Structure 1
Amino acid sequence: MDDESFQAIKDSSPFIAWIHNISLNQQKYMKSKFNELDLGHDVRYIMFIYDNPGCSQDDLVNMFGQSKGNIAKTLRKLEDQGFIQRQVNPENRRKYMLNTTEKGRNLVPEYRKISKQWEIEVGITEEDIELKKRIKEIAIKGMNLIEDN
């Protein structure tokens, strides 16, 4: 197979297509390692909550640029699956504080370990730190661009 045409990634492809391809293939890899869990991109919410105990649904909306409805639906699913729990915020009873359950706290380190393994297998090294920083900057500018419109 011609490497340049694999999954329709060509030199003329938009940059975002390359990023999307990397993301999809990483998700497929992770799914193969956690095949009993069908989390897909939803694992990012568990990881955010794990890293930010007591965060709110609004924090997720702002971080991931998803609608309140989509976030609420996903949180309900993750709660039903036992990865997170919602507790009424004592300072604002109309809002919930989000935390990972023991199941969620056990998942995140394992998920990160396997994700790091994927990075090694595809050739992402410590030398790519500047590239990672630059892509993060682009991601932040993209989020800000949306917020400004």
Structure 2
Amino acid sequence: MKDEYIHQINILQNNFNIFVAKKFENKLDNQLTAKQVLLLELIKEGVTSTKDIADKLNVSTSAVSQILNKLDDRGYIERKFNPQNRREIILYLADKAHQYFKELAVLKKQINKEIYGKLSSHDLKQLKDILEKLQVIATDSDQSNSYDKKK
């Protein structure tokens, strides 16, 4: 029975994500890939070196560099030399990325109002609690997998 619920949840979640993507796709620059957006998010959060991004994502610096090159070519990031260490390059969001995040914030508000805003406070609290539980489970699982790999 549990497997059937999980199966139904997966279908509902996929359908919901597809619906939201279709409904709001023309409201945002959809030329960015998920990986590019992830890198922009990390830079926004203060991760400003290729090596630190690679370490955080557990991927090679060359893989990160390839994505950063595309973001640089398209005007989303800027690279500047670190004045304290000229061998180090610091990554910054360019104006285009700042504009992207402004548009994303407006879009999130619209989604919150049009979709989540239709739920009762009780339903929203339940959803929040369940998502928090899932995050703890995923984090614990990820940490135990990291521990198992180190053995």
TM-score, structure 2 normalization: 0.64
1:74 counterpart residue number: 67
Distance 1:92 1:117, change over 3 A: same
Instruction: Say which one has the larger Rg.
Output: 2
What is the CA–CA distance in structure 2 between the aligned matches of 1:79 and 1:30, rounded to whole Å?
26
| AA aligned opposite 2:133 | R
What is the CA–CA distance in structure 1 between the aligned matches of 2:6 and 2:65, rounded to whole Å?
38
Deviation at 1:80, TM superposition (A): 0.8
Q: Which runs of 5+ in 1 are unaligned?
A: 1-9
- Mapping of residues 1-149 of structure 1, within 5 Å: 11-13=5-7, 21=14, 25=18, 31-34=25-28, 36-41=29-34, 42-52=36-46, 55-123=48-116, 127=125, 128-145=127-144, 147-148=146-147, 149=149
Contact 1:55 1:99 in 2 (8 A): yes
Distance 1:65 1:139, change over 3 A: farther
1:82-130 CA deviation, whole Å, 9 max, x = no partner? 1111122234444321110111112112213313433554438752433
Runs of at least 4 residues off by over 6 Å: none
What is the CA–CA distance in structure 2 between the aligned matches of 1:14 and 1:92, rounded to whole Å?
54
Contact 1:46 1:108 in 2 (8 A): no
Q: Quote the RMSD (CA, aligned, Å).
A: 3.5
TM-score, structure 1 normalization: 0.65
Corresponding pairs, count: 137
